[in-house]
Amino acid sequence: MRNVNIQHWLNETKSGPAVPDLRLKVEKITEIIIYATSLSETQTDEPPTCRRRPKRKPCKGNLIINFEYPDQIHWICPACQDEGFVTGWEGLIWDMTDEPDNFQ
Ligand SMILES: [Zn+2]
């Protein structure tokens, strides 16, 4: 299982990948962050699809995403068992949780 600290893959302004080679990885993780942090408002949305290509065929699984700990997002693909944790997402542009000031 992987533990991805997204901060390590971002550029200085934290708005995109640090290097072009990381673009697809960053896209996958940011999709997971957006889905996880907006769950309460968009429960009907389809979760992101798995981006892996086991045996060179695109995996068709829909990721199962939830919070393992308040600061740790867990994902698993039920089809290919790709699994990992995301940390370091708080406060990024993909973090859809409410600002504390707006919390009702
Ligand atoms: Zn998969």
Q: Say which amino acid occupies 51.
A: R
d(CA 74, ligand 1 centre) in Å: 14
For residue 59, report the phi and psi dihedrals to the nearest 5 degrees: -75, 135
Please give all residues whose CB falls under 5 A of ion ligand 1, grouped by chain where several chains appear.
50, 52, 59, 61, 77, 79-80, 82
Question: Residue-wise pLDDT tens for the chain (104 aa)?
Answer: 789 999 999 999 999 999 999 999 999 999 999 999 987 655 667 889 999 998 999 999 999 999 989 999 999 999 999 999 999 999 999 999 876 554 44
The residue among 65, 60, 89, 87 whose CA lies nearest residue 76 is 65
Three-state DSSP class for residue 19: coil
Rounded distance, CA 100 to CA 92, Å?
14
Query: What is the model's pLDDT at position 38?
Result: 86
- For residue 24, report the distance from its CA to the centre of ligand 1, in Å: 15
Q: Residue 101: what pLDDT?
A: 55
Distance between Cα 104 and ligand 1 center (Å):
37
pLDDT the model gives residue 104:
46
83 C-alpha to ligand 1 centroid (Å): 9
> What share of residues in the chain are helix, strand, coil (percent, to 5)?
25, 25, 50
User: Residue 1: its pLDDT value, please?
Assistant: 79
> What's the pLDDT score for residue 59?
96
Q: What is the pLDDT of residue 41?
A: 56
